Structure 1
Amino acid sequence: MYNTDMPSRAELPSSAKLIRSTIISAILALVLLVAVVMPAEYAMDPTGAGRLLGLTEMGEIKQQLADEAAADEAAQLTAVPSAAEELLPESTAPVQQATATPGSQVEPTVAMPPAAAAEPEWQDEVRVVLTPGEGTEFKMTMEEGAVASFHWVSEGGPVNFDTHGDGGGQSISYEKGRGIAEDRGDLEAAFSGNHGWFFRNRGNKDVTLVLRTRGSYGELKRAI
């Protein structure tokens, strides 16, 4: 039976070398944690390297999915029957009575509401079908302070959404919603970068998402 030779004392690493190797390994592990793991898993990017490598956006999506899953679980535990909607009496238009002279018949005049001003045309319109569990993201390139009007509707069922922005090492979440079928308003860019929406279909059937935008932005594109 062959026995390997035992290394001599001179061949063994010294205590100083072992300590130095341990310190170097710890430093490398810390660098990987801050530059790679934290941006990719938790969307935390203190060095900015994760944004350059495209890891921070992946972490943001993971956090969105985790928040949605936690919110869905909490909603199932605390769900209560919704209150019945109260019926409102139908409103009637005011009727102006004309003064009648003897022997004549005067029909009442109905006051008509003023015609609503026509909305301007939408600058862009996108339409996408989301299967159960599928998500998508749309972003607009905007300068700080720019304003874009939007209107989106989910045909076939509600969706979860997160209105957010990122750029130049900054990120922001403007608004989040669960089980929403439609939303409209104005989005003002807090800083220069990409600003838009992440949508996810948490239902059990396909839905068609329609997004319309107009205003001060450079390009509307589908990121996911």
Structure 2
Amino acid sequence: MQHTVSTKTLVKASITATIVAAIALVTFILPAEYNIDPTGIGQKLGLTTLAQANESDVVVSTNNADTNTSGSQEFKTIEVVVPAGRGVEYKFAMQQYAKMTYEWLTDGEALYFDLHGEPEGDTTGYFESYTIATSNEMKGSFTAPFAGSHGWYWKNKSDKPIAVQLLVKGEYQVIGLKQ
């Protein structure tokens, strides 16, 4: 005896599968992978701690503990590890017209990056991008157009962590990783 599946049954099964996948995405995958928990169920199940543990994969080391290097004439070396498939942001507090000289390079792989600044006290989410590109190195200097936080967002599109060596000098205070 042969069974044939009707189009109506296939449509119902497809719709049901899509609904189940959407529920799994919102309740399990987003909280566990990205610490996004719109329902609150991920926190109750302990899934958001998995995403937070992934965030701790980001490694930062500096060549000295002095975070107030305003006017420093020596380069400060900072190493940031950008986890596979993730993005990190590293920022500095700068006053309007403060200057910074910088150079950064990766351990080989190119990263998508956005050098940008956010005005001090702004609550709208506004930011101004100075450079957006994909590269494994960048060298230059800039003058902060406004008081606020300025720095880089690096996105690693590869399946391996990428180390960034950042050298900076100038008029700034280190904010560090922005989560």
Normalising by the residue count of structure 2, what TM-score does the alignment of the two structures yield?
Answer: 0.53
- Match in the other structure for 2:101: 149
Residue 166 to residue 130, structure 1, CA distance change in 2 (3 Å): same
Q: Tell me how far 1:206 sits from its aligned partner.
A: 2.3
Cα distance between partner residues in 2 of 1:205 and 1:222: 20
Q: Who is 1:159 aligned against?
A: 111
Instruction: Please show how residues 112-151 of structure 1 align to structure 2 within 5 Å.
Output: 121-122=74-75, 124-151=76-103
Aligned residue pair count:
103
3-state SS of 1:145 partner = coil
Which residue number corresponds to residue 194 of structure 1? 149
Task: Mark the structure with the bigger radius of gyration.
Answer: 1
Alpha-carbon offset, residue 223 of structure 1: 1.1
Q: Whole-Å Cα distance in 1 between the matches of residues 161 and 177 of structure 2?
A: 19
Identity of aligned residues (%): 30
For residues 1-224 of structure 1, what are the structure 2 equivalents within 5 Å? 121-122=74-75, 124-167=76-119, 168-169=121-122, 171-178=127-134, 180-224=135-179
CA contact (8 A) 1:136 1:222 kept: yes
Match of 1:219, SS? strand
The amino acid across from 1:171 in the alignment is F
Q: Distance in 1 between matches of 2:88 and 2:77?
A: 15
Separation (CA, whole Å) in 2 of partners of 1:173 and 1:153: 19
CA distance in 2, matches of 1:149, 1:206: 26
CA–CA separation in structure 2 for the residues paired with 1:197 and 1:182: 12
Residue type at the aligned position of 1:138: Y
Q: If the length of structure 1 is used for normalisation, what is the TM-score?
A: 0.43
Which protein is richer in strand relative to its size? Answer: 2
How many Å separate the matches in 1 of 2:85 and 2:77? 23
Give the stretch that moved more between structures: 188-197 or 166-175. 166-175
After the TM superposition, list the runs of 4 or more consecutive aligned residues in structure 1 that deviate by more than 4 angstroms. Answer: none
Q: Secondary structure at the match of 1:139?
A: strand
1: CA distance between counterparts of 2:127 and 2:108?
A: 31
Counterpart-to-counterpart distance in 2, 1:126 and 1:218: 13
How far apart are the structure 2 equivalents of 1:156 and 1:148? Answer: 24
Say what the alpha-carbon RMSD is for the aligned residues: 1.6
- Gaps spanning 5+ residues in structure 1: where? 1-119
Give the CA deviation at 1:171.
2.5
Q: What displacement does 1:220 show?
A: 4.2
